[in-house]
Structure 1
């Protein structure tokens, strides 16, 4: 099944009917296009007056000072470089306290850090769309996330396309062709393999 963005928004709206807060998880490997799809879905839902908000998992990147102290800067973006339990705690708060305004972190790619309180999930945001690489991973601590999702979507993309996109991403960030290829192969594609190996099936698969 490969629904259009309109079909996907309709499915979310149908499943969210009568719910005060409904959380949709968009998962997939690095470079799959999760951020773009999530932004389009939020816009489509808001066009339908569903009042949706976006919560990227990237806001839970560990700070560079922490990664440097742990010798993990070269693996930034890998599972162990995120605050998975903090993310799970926030998801639980968003689901169980829908009548409160909740500040959430947002990752600033220009500054290469997460900004605390970078966005707000308000009571009128009935649908929350969250996206990230590891949302469906069936390994601790990521497996704890599943209890917080009402609907899951997997974005399926072949490895060749992912590698090409990831290299382009690093070129866009100013790396040389050689450095971009190295970064994609030595870190990103390792994460791709891990995500694809350990992720559970989703309710819906898109590409």
Structure 2
């Protein structure tokens, strides 16, 4: 592990270099091919097969051990209570800034975990589907706060997670379209009793203000059995965000139905100026005020370098 002089001595997390973490793969088999990886990676996220081997296979092994142990605990509790209720899904939360690679991490983990024999059914959902519709955000003056905690229908998200955790056979959630930048009216996605549910979103580790009367207030993270935070320097995330914006101008923004089509029709200099304003006014503010403060709450922190490669892994001590 890292030189003791280079890491906190009394930190709640144990720190590993990329090389040290890679050694924890043990004999975990590589079950993804290059074609799988091409399909799973997000726009402007240069994940490589070396990343899968060095970072994601050890994560997959760790999570498989956690899932097996948690399933044993659930069974012990059922034995104690004398109940025979259905299985309780293991829920993983993945948080972090925009453009930091949450979606790629979620999809790669889903693919790897679904190949373990004790977790054949792994589902993935993003919290985007629980954003208020644009009409509501406009009415409440929150369009420029989209992605901030107050822009989500928190009761709906908590209800969804509560039903999933209770073992409900089928639970549905709204669908969000990045193309039209809004909730799709009348469309739902069904989550059907998974072994593992991965929940990915900007503010999934957010802790709301506690009431002074001591009444119970559930957090989204209360439903997580394990949580991951994708971390990077602010300057690197900024650069990745602008690079992704430039790529989208040449791809998705050109779709006639895209909410952002106007950004593909203006000059590059003007478009990049808009991207910089969006970053500073919305995404950077959300990162500093809401997202980054949740980092210490994660069970696992993946720290990326300027090239998008994970350079350090921090695992919470038990």
> Structures share a fold, TM > 0.5?
yes
- Aligned position for 1:177: 272
Deviation at 1:75, TM superposition (A): 2.2
Q: Of residues 195, 198, 204 in structure 2, which corresponds to 1:129?
A: 198
Report the 3-state secondary structure (helix = DSSP H, G, I; strand = E; otherwise coil) of the residue aligned with 1:182.
Answer: helix
Relative distance call for 1:143 and 1:32 in structure 2 (3 A) is farther
Report the 3-state secondary structure (helix = DSSP H, G, I; strand = E; otherwise coil) of the residue aligned with 1:47.
Answer: coil
Task: Report 1 or 2 for greater relative contact order, CA contacts < 8 Å, sequence distance ≥ 6.
Answer: 1
> Does the 8 A contact of 2:93 with 2:221 survive in 1?
no
Question: Which of 1 and 2 has greater Rg?
Answer: 2
Alignment: residue pair count: 205
- Aligned position for 1:87: 157
1:92-111 equivalences under 5 Å are 92-96=162-166, 98-111=167-180
2:106 pairs with 1:38: yes
- Aligned position for 1:8: 59
Q: Deviations over 1:124-153 (max 9, x none)?
A: x10001011111122348971222111111
- Structure 2 stretches lacking a partner, 5+ long: 1-15, 22-54, 75-86, 211-216, 254-262, 264-270, 304-318
Relative distance call for 1:81 and 1:99 in structure 2 (3 A) is closer
Relative distance call for 1:170 and 1:80 in structure 2 (3 A) is farther
Q: Deviations over 1:5-37 (max 9, x none)?
A: 111122221111125310011111222211110
- Aligned CA-pair RMSD: 2.1
- Aligned position for 2:293: 197
Query: Which one is further off, 143-152 or 36-45?
Result: 143-152
Report the 3-state secondary structure (helix = DSSP H, G, I; strand = E; otherwise coil) of the residue aligned with 2:137.
Answer: helix
Report the 3-state secondary structure (helix = DSSP H, G, I; strand = E; otherwise coil) of the residue aligned with 2:203.
Answer: coil
Question: Structure 1 runs of 4+ off > 6 angstroms?
Answer: none
Q: Of residues 226, 248, 254 in structure 2, which corresponds to 1:151?
A: 226
- Aligned position for 2:133: 63
- Aligned position for 2:242: 167
- Structure 1 stretches lacking a partner, 5+ long: none
Inter-partner Cα distance in structure 1 for 2:113 and 2:172 = 21
- Aligned position for 2:302: 206
> Does the 8 A contact of 2:134 with 2:183 survive in 1?
no
